[in-house]
Structure 1
């Protein structure tokens, strides 16, 4: 689909470095691409933060129980429970 004249007021010639061909690209298209890239980058950043928070929550849950196990003396066998 071609951009309408109102959507693309300014066209820039662009040279293709590989083939030497030139073509016309719309500034509006570049603006749209940058608008798409920004939310993607933000989503990636937020996803990374969420993963880090999940890991922190896991460690916060695991560490207290590990500390408790380390602090408790080993259980002594109850002599009454054997023969009863």
Structure 2
């Protein structure tokens, strides 16, 4: 894989993570469900997010999800990360 192809794959993964985050954020019930799950089972919530990405045609890895969440400047997401930090 060339450097340019690697950059494109990285950009696509970042785009997938951003799109998936947007879809989850727009579904209040799903967002609350994931938050509750993250409080009890953070790694399970992460696996669920990855599975949702597969279902939506937006494949992401756990690392890509974590990187996207870490880069957000959103109070609610930061709160989720703090509470779920142990499993992520």
**Structure with bigger RCO (C-alpha 8 Å, 6+ apart):** 2
Structure having the larger proportion of residues in strand = 1
Instruction: Give TM-score scaled by structure 1 length.
Output: 0.32
Larger Rg: 1
Instruction: Give TM-score scaled by structure 2 length.
Output: 0.31
Structure having the larger proportion of residues in helix = 2
